Structure 1
Amino acid sequence: MKRAALLVMVLLLTACGQAGTEERTSVDSSFVQEPQSEAFDWQDEIWNADLKEGLAYTLYLRQYIDDLETDTAYSLYEKQNTFYSVWGKHIYALDCLGMTLQDGGSVQLSYCLNHYEEGAEEIRHQEFQLPDLPGAVGLYKNVVAFDIVNEEECVLFVQVKQDEQLEKYVAIHISADGEVQRMTDLYPAMAENGILGQEGYVFDKIYTDAQGNYYLISDGRLGEILVLGEDGAVQAHVETGGSEVQFSMKDPNGAPVFEWYDPGEELLHLVGYDLTSGIKTLASVKLPPFTPKVLSEEGFLYYLDTDTKLYRWKLGTGEVAYCMDGEAMGLSANPALMRISVGAGGKPLLLSHAGGNTCIYLLDTEQASSKVMLRLVSTMSYCDYVLDCAAQFSRQQENSVLLVDKPEIEGITAAEEITRIQNEFRERALLELTSGESADLYLVSAADMRMLYKKGALADLTGVLPSELENCIFPGVLESGVIEGRQIGLAPQAAATVAMVSNELWTGDSWTYEEALDLWDSQPGLEYLLVSPGYNYGTGYLYQTFLRDLARSPFLDLEKGTCNFTDPLFIRILEHMQDYRGSGRWEENPLEEGKAAGFFVTLVSYPYFTQLMAQYGEQYHPVGFPTQEGAGNYWNGDYYLVVSKDSPNREIVQEYLLSLFDPEQQRDSDHPVRNDLISRYTVYNDTGQGPKLQYDMGDGVFSVLETKKDGSSWEEEYLALMNGCGYCSEDTGEILEIIKEEAEYCFSGGRDVWKTAEIIQNRVQTYMNEHSD
């Protein structure tokens, strides 16, 4: 019995940990769940603010809902803004639809009220227009705030302006069906009590209670809340005691709770107000300020900390219980994009806007035991796209969860320490993969992909992507993951580095080493061949300009294991590159001074390409870097997803790989690789107002697409360039380091180019001999 009791105690202690710590051992939930107790009367009893660690109250994702907002794919209008509000089992999103004006402003023309009620079979979407407002015909009307009044009613706050001068501030109460219940102009009371700011000011710090009273946080009178009755008359001026007061949450009765933070005492003050009893400080407690919180009827306060971890404070005892890691579940890292409510049985509901999606998370204390747990190990710490897609994939899968492991460097700033952590993590991950006890997927460098392939550790992904999807991906991106005719790795993100050359100096669409050097020699005013407009890479230009794809150069034969760096052509390159010294910002741009034949740049997206062409497209055209074969422009698919040959979950893994190339996911990527996004998301504006072409980036955000002088798009040129980009065939990083090391000594005056070439030849050949298979 003693041994059994000790085992239980060990499990309990392991599960608890310190409140707020990230590492928690997963054990049977029956050992870690805090037992239920009698409800605490949060209204009349004193909250225990002496916080202490409690047993974990582990919560799991029970259901995921992602169709809260309006689908505007077929709408006449674009989504300009969305307001969110939650209370109890109700979650609302108000979409404001309209058009962008030529002056860069916008106008709201229609609205959609989206309502989720826990337990309902579907989300209700109700479109409506603002009613006619007395005395506001022809004036500019704009919804600036939104709130829930009660289970049957919401309120929109509308600013009415004439020539940027505020004329009215109308609270429009509507039912869940979009029917107007009543309207109240709050402008007279606001103007009289110093709420309104300068011209053009948008006031949105306004909230309601279940009786329809209004609570306005004053910017002019710091720490004051102005309370107005449902008729707009002043009820009270409430002094909170703090200087920066913010809305915190609604209590279970629907009344707003406010908070202000005292940095000196490191205390968060939670303040409530009742028209009958007045102001009441609910608690002064050490909680993170200005993060999502909610109060349950049972006497628990749930809150998210700054690391998106969810905790539960038991108000009667002061115990704080860890609930879940929101980041691992895909919650937004921005508190302004999250809300918490409490639904049936006192379980939290989370609303989060992340990765272009607004998601509702229904949580429970029970975890589905039938779910298959998959692992993805990233050898790089920055893998946001893969991480977001994994979270999205897990939410949408009923029977599987994909967990991501990566080097943890949060809070570490020293470069050497970050490198050490990443290297050690990589070594452990690769050892795990080659030892037969592997995860399902890995995100690795191109060099590691080739090494793991040679060891026979990776699965063949040929045919995993259907042919119709492969046709939608730039060919060079796919080819960069092919080894010996097999698709071994997939790059869901990639950027292309391209070289643009002056139309006056070169008319062809490619050039060899000899042609580039001959042009350089024929133009006395050229000090440089290709430059980066903003930055001088110094001796790094030797790689940037001539040795980017060293494996295909005439100086290296990897198949034979030989090199030829005493070739007169290589010596000629060294002679021309001697003027590239130092590094840092150019004092003057060589391109603008006419001292360079062209420039190179990394293209990350189509909107960026149009901006580049608008600036340089008339004088420069894509030529690529000097090369003896191939395109001369290159994809930088630095990291690849590979699959362990021992993974027992190949079908589920394939579904995840497919999701990485989904059009909606790719649109959210910083470096998309699909070639059909332009046709999918280019918006043609024929209103005569605003830019003619825009790129729909989702969430009502549009990026301006620059056009040619005749108004036509750059789409054809962009696709031709991207479809023609190649890839660096082999990893030659160690050889390049030898070359750059010796070249730098040469360029500093240490030795002549002939001697330098001989030393490079000897060192590289020795390296190749030592690393031959």
Structure 2
Amino acid sequence: MGGTHMNRSLWRKAVALTLTVAMTAGLTACGGGGNSTSADGNKRYFKADYLSDLPDSFNDTTSNIQFKGDVMYYTSSNADYTKSGLYSYNLITGENAQLYEQAQSDGSGNSSWVSGYTVADSGEVYLFVTKNQMDESSVTEDYSDATLDDVLSYMADQWGYSDEDAEKDWNDYYAKDYTDEDGNVNYGRFLLAQNARFIQTSSILKVDTSGNIAFEQDMDLGANAENVSCNGIAVDKEGNLYLALNTWSNNDSGNSVSSDEYFTLVIGEDGSQKGRIPSDGYTSRLVGLADGTVASIGYGDAGCELRPLDVGAMKEQTDKAIEVPSDTVSVLDEKNLLVTEGSSVYKYNLDTKEKEEFFSWMDCNISSSSVSSYGVLSDGRIAAYLQNWNSNGNQTEIALIKEVDASEVADTVNLTLACMWTGSDAEEKVIAFNKSQDKYHITMKSYGDGAEEYEDAVNSFNTAVTSDSNIDLVLFNDYSQAINFASKGLNVDLYGLLDKDTELSRDDFLPNVLTACEYDGKLAILPQTFTLQTVIGKADDVGTTPGWTVSDMKALIASKPEGTQLFWGMDRTSALTALMSLGYNDFINWEDASCNFDSQEFIDVLDFANMFPEEFEYRDDMEDSTVLLSQGKQLLDTYYLSDFEQVQMYRAIFGGPTTFIGYPTSEGNGAMLSLNNIIGISNSCKDVDGAWQFLRTFYLPKKSSDGDSDYTYGFSIRKDDFEKYCQNAMKADSDGGSTWGWGEFEVEIQPATQEDVDQVKDLVYNTTAVSGAVSDDITNIINEEAAAYFSGQKSAEDVAKIIQSRMQVYLSETK
């Protein structure tokens, strides 16, 4: 098909298109004075500008964005998703063109799509196109006379649709795929498609810069390649095309079975297959390097590797593999890649294997989670495609980031927020705050992004937040870190700031959450949201009042037939963990750093845990929890309370009323708060009022324009928001509700009853214990020494004394 010319209407130059750059308020500069630092120790400053007046083809359906030189390439669909195209857009001149168009559906159930593409230095585009063709011979039944009623009946009978929903979804989602250009609907093809076998085929196309198809070549990948996944595509300086493929076949029932055949297919300049390069496992992407060669990126024993491809020998040059920090890379020059780790972009030298921070997305007020792709323009700017999913749908932007002189940077107070990892929730809050004013700038500093081992990240973070005077705010990964921070007197008392605030007061918050966040009478931290962690059981077994002791739990299991489980799969170690989830409060006094693990009460805990098997032996033929709970063979289950829906599922499984009985403890309801996004202000903070101005944004009342659609996991710690959530839970869902399923059980969720709400509110308002208060160090001490008792090497009394001694030393050293 060489030389075929595409429809001239597909080629459109944006002569009248004016390329404008819109500065976003608050995006004065990356960093605000304390951020990216070059190898010579000098600070570097960046600005992020945004493009407006993008082409109409750049819309909510846009995907597969690539940057090549000054040109952005992308695919997008028309409004009804019947056609898709590949477009180019010059970010400097504004020139826009459609290079390729295809029908996504042919009106009879067959479909096609662009699985991948790459752009050569010349601007020519290579596309890997996949088609699904219906094999009519695989179905013997005749559907030629089918009507709309037949289609709707099928959707109701096979998919569980109501009559109304079936017709709506048919019109909204399915009809277009079975409607020809004249508007004729082929209902029989729809029914045929539900029963037919589909044959997948693939082809390669080469399209020049004017939209001409230079060649189109069908691919023959062998008998086992009934299905193909293209994981990467690149072209070298000789015009050879590389395709990182995974092929697999179907079993007799028509289900896909991966053959785990991974390879890179090499296609010559004329479209002929030159050979296959075997891949050692999954290739995440292919990269065209600055010297015109191609390398694969995959994961080996040493981590993420860049492996040069030898087209002559048809092999990966594993002996020349280069370890890289991640597979998110962009080629900067012959010696350097740009590599994304967390919220930062690093310049990674391929020779020295050293990395240097280039700039931070966060310091440009861009959430790293929104960056889908980026590239380097000819003038040195970074072009980034940003994609944000929120209540308003999929919002896309193109940001242009450039390095600027320090004189162009607004004079702001830079505050450092230390964190283990840069999560999207915190990033969004930081970005919103930085954009809202120009007096302060929050910089997030991560100690976990890029760390090879979790323990390394934890140790680095803990050391920094307890010793680095340049840290102003701390986003803790768990509650034990926050307690350790507060026990050293490193926190600012937030009550002093809250009590001076003109828009917030203590009365705005759930009082039990404030109590849980106190240390030594001071408000050490505040979380953004919380959930409850508790234990649920059948009311006939555990009673109707939350809260019980270890003795109560022992009595329950003793009353049941042999073989009855408390929790699914519980062994001695997990039993001890469950017993100690709240038990630490009975044995540790945090205020004076004392403990009493040598007491008879703790010895009883060890004895009870020792009743369970040494190890839980899982078998494939075991019944799952839903069956065991429904038959009384399992009595309890761990419950994470964040809504009013899940309990309805458990009532159906237990076959009657349930109780949030909780973990065993000498006092209280046995529930624990799980705090999310825990933040404190360091007593070394350079501007405490500025830090509070940021922290308070988490808790200000919602404006009416904010709506209720922004999702955050868990309950709000604002009293009015929590009460509103409880009231809304008793209202019928305007969308018709939802259905929960687990195992053989399925429940249509109903509005919560007043009894449901009262039960949860009683639990919430009377819970001050916090999940995660025990550090891994404490848990490890208990488990390490208890193992000697469980194995029969030592008595429970001796083990309790050893734990008491070790724990007292630990508490004294960490206070």
Where on the TM-score scale, by shorter chain, does this alignment land: which range? 0.5 to 0.7
Partner Cα separation in structure 2 for residue 624 and residue 120 of structure 1: 65
Amino acid at match of 1:346: G
Task: State whether structure 2 residue 417 is matched by structure 1 residue 376.
Answer: yes
Partner Cα separation in structure 1 for residue 679 and residue 514 of structure 2: 12
1:721 CA displacement: 7.5
Task: State whether structure 2 residue 133 is matched by structure 1 residue 161.
Answer: yes
Partner Cα separation in structure 2 for residue 565 and residue 710 of structure 1: 45
Partner Cα separation in structure 2 for residue 206 and residue 768 of structure 1: 55
Q: Which residue of 2 aligns with 1:491?
A: 527
1:226 CA displacement: 5.6
Task: State whether structure 2 residue 455 is matched by structure 1 residue 439.
Answer: no
Partner Cα separation in structure 2 for residue 706 and residue 65 of structure 1: 50
Q: Which residue of 2 aligns with 1:347?
A: 381
1:642 CA displacement: 0.5
1:511 CA displacement: 3.9
Q: Do the aligned partners of residues 637 and 319 (structure 1) sit closer, same or farther apart at CA in structure 2, a change above 3 Å counting? A: closer
Partner Cα separation in structure 2 for residue 735 and residue 684 of structure 1: 45
Task: State whether structure 2 residue 294 is matched by structure 1 residue 259.
Answer: yes
Q: Which residue of 2 aligns with 1:541?
A: 575
CA deviations over 1:450-486 (Å, ceiling 9, x no partner): 5655737414166499989999998865653245776
Task: State whether structure 2 residue 580 is matched by structure 1 residue 599.
Answer: no
Partner Cα separation in structure 2 for residue 139 and residue 195 of structure 1: 25
Q: Do the aligned partners of residues 772 and 250 (structure 1) sit closer, same or farther apart at CA in structure 2, a change above 3 Å counting? A: closer
- 8 A Cα contact 1:458 1:643, kept in partner: yes
Q: Which residue of 1 aligns with 2:156?
A: none
Q: Which residue of 2 aligns with 1:191?
A: 218
Amino acid at match of 1:536: D
1:634 CA displacement: 1.3
1:489 CA displacement: 0.8
Amino acid at match of 1:27: G
1:641 CA displacement: 1.5
Q: Which residue of 1 aligns with 2:30?
A: none
Task: State whether structure 2 residue 32 is matched by structure 1 residue 62.
Answer: no
Partner Cα separation in structure 2 for residue 665 and residue 250 of structure 1: 47
Listed as ranges, the matches of 1:530-609 within 5 Å are 530-531=566-567, 533-538=568-573, 541-542=575-576, 544-545=578-579, 548=582, 550-551=584-585, 576-580=608-612, 582=614, 592=628, 598-601=635-638, 603=640
Q: Do the aligned partners of residues 651 and 268 (structure 1) sit closer, same or farther apart at CA in structure 2, a change above 3 Å counting? A: farther
1:426 CA displacement: 2.7
1:428 CA displacement: 5.4
Partner Cα separation in structure 2 for residue 411 and residue 497 of structure 1: 30
User: Which shows bigger deviation, 446-455 or 587-596?
Assistant: 587-596
Amino acid at match of 1:439: D
> Aligned to 1:345, what secondary structure does the other structure show?
coil
Listed as ranges, the matches of 1:232-247 within 5 Å are 235-237=270-272, 239=274
1:600 CA displacement: 3.9
Q: Which residue of 2 aligns with 1:137?
A: 107
Q: Do the aligned partners of residues 87 and 672 (structure 1) sit closer, same or farther apart at CA in structure 2, a change above 3 Å counting? A: farther
Partner Cα separation in structure 1 for residue 335 and residue 643 of structure 2: 46
Partner Cα separation in structure 2 for residue 509 and residue 110 of structure 1: 61
Task: State whether structure 2 residue 267 is matched by structure 1 residue 225.
Answer: yes
Partner Cα separation in structure 2 for residue 447 and residue 517 of structure 1: 27
> Aligned to 1:728, what secondary structure does the other structure show?
coil
Partner Cα separation in structure 2 for residue 311 and residue 772 of structure 1: 39
> Aligned to 1:624, what secondary structure does the other structure show?
coil
> Aligned to 2:635, what secondary structure does the other structure show?
strand
Partner Cα separation in structure 2 for residue 506 and residue 524 of structure 1: 12
1:601 CA displacement: 2.6
1:727 CA displacement: 3.8
Task: State whether structure 2 residue 345 is matched by structure 1 residue 364.
Answer: no
- 8 A Cα contact 2:649 2:741, kept in partner: no
Partner Cα separation in structure 2 for residue 506 and residue 714 of structure 1: 26
Partner Cα separation in structure 1 for residue 506 and residue 93 of structure 2: 40
Partner Cα separation in structure 2 for residue 249 and residue 430 of structure 1: 45
- 8 A Cα contact 1:267 1:286, kept in partner: yes
Q: Which residue of 2 aligns with 1:636?
A: 674
Q: Do the aligned partners of residues 66 and 584 (structure 1) sit closer, same or farther apart at CA in structure 2, a change above 3 Å counting? A: farther
Q: Do the aligned partners of residues 473 and 155 (structure 1) sit closer, same or farther apart at CA in structure 2, a change above 3 Å counting? A: farther
Indicate which of 635, 651, 663 corresponds to 1:625: 663
Q: Which residue of 1 aligns with 2:186?
A: none
> Aligned to 1:548, what secondary structure does the other structure show?
coil
Amino acid at match of 2:338: L
- 8 A Cα contact 1:373 1:402, kept in partner: yes
Partner Cα separation in structure 1 for residue 76 and residue 572 of structure 2: 47
1:618 CA displacement: 4.2
Give the number of equivalent residue pairs: 638
Partner Cα separation in structure 2 for residue 604 and residue 406 of structure 1: 30
Partner Cα separation in structure 2 for residue 705 and residue 387 of structure 1: 33
Partner Cα separation in structure 1 for residue 570 and residue 78 of structure 2: 42
1:113 CA displacement: 9.7
User: Which shows bigger deviation, 489-498 or 710-719?
Assistant: 710-719
CA deviations over 1:509-538 (Å, ceiling 9, x no partner): 52432882474276142667733x245243
1:374 CA displacement: 1.6
Partner Cα separation in structure 2 for residue 142 and residue 715 of structure 1: 46
Partner Cα separation in structure 1 for residue 330 and residue 213 of structure 2: 30
**Alignment identity in percent?**
11
Q: Do the aligned partners of residues 721 and 239 (structure 1) sit closer, same or farther apart at CA in structure 2, a change above 3 Å counting? A: farther
Partner Cα separation in structure 2 for residue 580 and residue 196 of structure 1: 53
CA deviations over 1:607-638 (Å, ceiling 9, x no partner): 99589749946476533223454432212338
Amino acid at match of 2:638: V
TM-score by length of 2: 0.55
Partner Cα separation in structure 1 for residue 551 and residue 794 of structure 2: 27
Q: Do the aligned partners of residues 81 and 741 (structure 1) sit closer, same or farther apart at CA in structure 2, a change above 3 Å counting? A: same
Q: Do the aligned partners of residues 157 and 728 (structure 1) sit closer, same or farther apart at CA in structure 2, a change above 3 Å counting? A: same
Gaps of 5+ in 2: 1-35, 135-195, 248-262, 312-319
Partner Cα separation in structure 2 for residue 304 and residue 769 of structure 1: 45
Q: Do the aligned partners of residues 332 and 559 (structure 1) sit closer, same or farther apart at CA in structure 2, a change above 3 Å counting? A: closer
Task: State whether structure 2 residue 65 is matched by structure 1 residue 84.
Answer: yes
Q: Do the aligned partners of residues 507 and 247 (structure 1) sit closer, same or farther apart at CA in structure 2, a change above 3 Å counting? A: same
CA deviations over 1:3-35 (Å, ceiling 9, x no partner): xxxxxxxxxxxxxxxxxxx99666346xxxxxx
- 8 A Cα contact 2:114 2:127, kept in partner: no
Amino acid at match of 1:60: F
1:347 CA displacement: 2.1
